[in-house]
Amino acid sequence: MRHFNIAGPCNKDEHYMVDAATRLHGVEQLIGMRTYFVIHAARQSGKTTYIQSLAARLNAAGKYYALYCSLEGVQGVVDPEKGIPEVVKIIKNTLLLAKFPHAEDFAKEADYSNFTGVLGMTLAQFCMLLDKPLVILFDETDCMGEGTMISFLRQLRLGYNTRHTVPFAHSIALVGMRNLRDYKVRIRPDSESMGTASPFNIITKVLAIKNFTEEEVRALYRQHTDETGQVFNDDAVALVCRQTQGQPWLVNAIAREVIVEQLDWDYTQAVTADMVEKAIQTIILRRDTHIDSLLERLKEERVRRVIDPLITGDVVDTFTDDFYYTRDLGLIRVTPEKGIEPANPIYAEVMVRTLNAHLQENILQNVVPEAQIPRYLKDGRIDMDCLMRDFQQFWRENSAIWMERFDYKEAAPHLILMAFLQRVINGGGQVIREMASGTGRTDICLVYDNHKYPIELKLWRGEKSLREGLEQTARYVDVYGCTEGWLALFDRRPDVKWGDKIYIKKENLDAKTINVVGL
C-alpha cells in the first residue's frame, strides 16, 4: 500500500509522489553538453529523489554510466588530508554496491598520502577503463567541511580543464541545500567566501528545485483518492496550498497526520479543512525533525541578520550573501506582491514561537496564568482594552530585562507582544501573523469565536511613524472587514519617560476606529 512519505527519498512503488522532473527542466540537456552544474533546494524538497531517479533513467537509456553518490559520510570533515581519502572511499563503495563495470579497479592503487590529487587521479584512471561517458551526481555536497570542500572542488576543476587530453567525468552535478556561491568557506585568511576566485568557477548553470504548484498538490492527493476512494475536499487542499506554499515535506506531513493520526486509516471520511487546520497546529507544536533542523538555523548570525528586520518589517538587503544563504535554506521567499517574507505561514508561525518560546513558557505562565485568561473574555469576545493595558504594564516592568535576553534585538518588542498574545489566545483562538520586508510594520490578527481583532506592530521612528501606522492599520482593518483595529507603537527612545510612552488613545480614519497603544 502506498502512503505519504515524510522520511527519506520517495519510491514510486511505496509512496505517492510528484516527479521532480516536472519541477526541474533542462538537466539532461546540460549533461549532453558535458557541463558541470549545481542543483540546490531547501531541505526535504525532493533533491535526492530526483537525482536517484535521474541516475536510474540515464543508466536505463544506455548512453552513459550514471552514478548517484552521497557525500554525507564526510559531513563536517574540515581537514582535506582526512576528508579527500574518505570521499574516494565513498565513491568506491558506491560503485561496488551499484555493481558498476570495473568497480573493483577504482582506486585500487590509490596513494591517499597525495590527498591534493588522489581524487582527480582515481577518477581519471577509472574513466579510462569505461566504454561510455561517466556522469556523477554528488548528493549532500555542501555538508563537507571547509578544507575538504576546497580540495574536492579544485581537483574536479583540474579534471574538467584537462579532460580533452586526459579522460575525466563527462558531467558532474553538485547537489545540496545551497548554491556554491553561498558556501562560507575560507580559502585564505583574508577571505570569507569563495568569491570570484572560486576553485570551482566552471559551473555552467545553477538549478533550483521548486515547491509544488497547486495543481501538483492536487495531483499528489488525487493518487491517494484513486487508490483508496478517500477524497480531499477542495477547501482542504486550498488550505494546504496556502499554509505550505507547496513545500513538499509539509504537503505530505499534513496529509499523513490527518489520514493516519486523526482518522486512523478510515478512508470512508473525506479530508476537510478543519482536519487540515488541526494537523497544521499539531505539526507546529510537535516540531518534527524537519522543522527543528530548519529552525536550528535561526541561531546563526547570518540568518539573524535577515530574519530580524523581516519580523519588524524593515528593509532586508537582497544583495548580500546572508540573504541568498537564508533563502536557499528555505526560510524565506520573494514574491512580487509582498517582497521578502517567510517561506510559508507555517514556517512563520514556528519561527516566532521558537524565538519567543522561553518567554512564553517560563514568564507568561506567571504573568498570565491559565486561571487569569477568562478575565480577557467578555460575552464571547476579547476585551482588547483590558488585554492591551495589562501588556503595557508588563512591558513597562519587564522590557529592559527581556530585551537583553533576545538575540533578535530589533524584533524583540514584536516577539514579546506576540508571546503575550499567544499565551492568551491559547485559550481557544488563533493568531494570524503576516511579516514582509520593507512594510515598516508587522501584521497580526487575533481570531476568537469568529471575531477578528487586527493589530499593527510598529517601531517609533519619528512623527511619521504615527501617521503611517494609522494609515497602515486602517488598510489592514479593511482587509478583515472590521471597523476597529489596534496600533501597537513601540517607542524605544531612552530619553522619553515611561509616562509619555504609555497611553491608549482612539483615532478615527476612513470610518474606522484605530486604538493607538503607546509602548
Residue 152's pLDDT band (cuts 50, 70, 90): very high
Q: Which amino acid is at 212?
A: F
Q: What is the dihedral of CA 117, 121, 124, 126, to 10 degrees?
A: -140
User: Helices in 287-343 by DSSP H: which ranges?
Assistant: 289-295, 301-312, 321-328
What's the CATH superfamily of 20-208?
A: P-loop containing nucleotide triphosphate hydrolases (3.40.50.300)
The 512-518 sheet, strands edge to edge: 430-434, 442-448, 451-459, 484-490, 512-518, 503-509
Res. 404: pLDDT tops 80 = no
Contact between 245 and 331 under an 8 Å Cβ cutoff? The reply is no
Residue with cell 522520511: 7
Q: Is 426 exposed, middle or buried (0-12, 13-18, 19+ CB in 10 A)?
A: middle
Compute the distance between CA of residue 9 and CA of residue 15 in angstroms, rounded to an integer: 9
Q: Which residue has the higher pLDDT, 240 or 199?
A: 240
What is the pLDDT at residue 98?
93
Q: Quote the CA–CA distance of 311 and 31 in Å, as a whole number.
A: 42
Collapsing DSSP states into helix, strand and coil, what is residue 382? strand
**Chain segment 209-265, per-residue pLDDT in tens:** 889 999 999 999 999 999 999 999 999 999 999 999 999 999 999 999 999 999 999
What pLDDT score does 380 carry?
Answer: 80
The third-level CATH classification (topology) of the domain covering 214-286 is: Helicase, Ruva Protein; domain 3 (1.10.8)
Q: At a CB cut-off of 8 Å and minimum separation 6, what does 281 contact? A: none
Ranked by mean pLDDT, the top range of 239-243, 399-403, 413-417, 447-451 is: 239-243
**Between 331 and 360, residue with greater pLDDT:** 331
Q: Which residue has the cell 522532473?
A: 21
Mean of the pLDDT values across residues 441-467?
89
Q: Buried b vs exposed e over 323-357: b needs ≥16 C-beta within 10 Å?
A: bbbbbbbbbbbeeeeebbbbbbbbbbbbbbbbbbe
Tell me the range of 74-78, 201-205, 418-422, 486-490 where mean pLDDT is highest. Answer: 486-490
Q: Which residue has the higher pLDDT, 200 or 512?
A: 512
- The model's confidence at residue 432, banded by pLDDT at 50, 70 and 90, is confident
Chain length of the chain: 519
Tell me the C-alpha distance between 138 and 70, whole Å.
Answer: 6
Lowest mean pLDDT among 44-48, 365-369, 440-444: 365-369
pLDDT for position 366: 63
- For residue 367, pLDDT over 70 is answered with no
Confidence band for 160, pLDDT divided at 50, 70 and 90: very high
- Domain ranges for the chain: 20-208, 214-286, 352-518
**In whole angstroms, what is the distance from residue 295 CA to residue 293 CA?**
6
Report the pLDDT value the prediction gives residue 185, as an integer from 0 to 100.
44
- Per the CB < 8 A criterion, the answer to whether 139 and 9 are in contact is no
Over residues 58-112, the pLDDT tens digits come to 999 999 999 999 999 998 888 999 999 999 999 999 999 999 999 999 999 999 9
Q: Is the pLDDT of residue 425 over 90?
A: no
pLDDT by residue (tens digit) across 270-315?
999 999 999 998 998 887 778 888 778 888 998 999 999 998 888 8
Distance CA 209, CA 43 (A): 11
Given pLDDT bands bounded at 50, 70 and 90, which one contains residue 194?
A: very low
Identify the pLDDT of residue 421.
84
pLDDT at 360 over 70: no
Does the pLDDT value for residue 389 go beyond 80?
Answer: yes
- Nearest CA to 153 out of 200, 198, 118 is that of 200
Looking at residue 216, its pLDDT comes to 95
Looking at residue 31, its pLDDT comes to: 95
Task: Supply the pLDDT for residue 406.
Answer: 77
**Is the pLDDT at 405 greater than 90, yes or no?**
no
Is the Cα dihedral 229, 230, 236, 242 positive or negative?
negative
When comparing pLDDT for 4 and 7, which is higher? 4
Burial class (CB in 10 A: 0-12, 13-18, 19+), 14: exposed
pLDDT of residue 240: 97
Using 50, 70 and 90 to split pLDDT, how confident is the model at 197? very low
pLDDT tens digits for 7-57? Answer: 888 888 999 999 877 778 889 999 999 999 999 888 788 889 999 999 999
Range of 194-203, 243-252, 460-469 with top mean pLDDT: 243-252
Q: Which pLDDT band, with edges at 50, 70 and 90, does 363 fall under?
A: low
Q: What percent of the chain has pLDDT over 70?
A: 92
- Residue 519 near residue 502, CB atoms below 8 Å: yes
Chain segment 467-495, per-residue pLDDT in tens: 999 999 999 999 899 999 999 999 988 89
Mean pLDDT rounded to a whole number for the chain: 88
pLDDT value of position 370: 61
Residue 397 CB neighbours (<10 A)? 11
Residue 369 has pLDDT above 80, yes or no: no
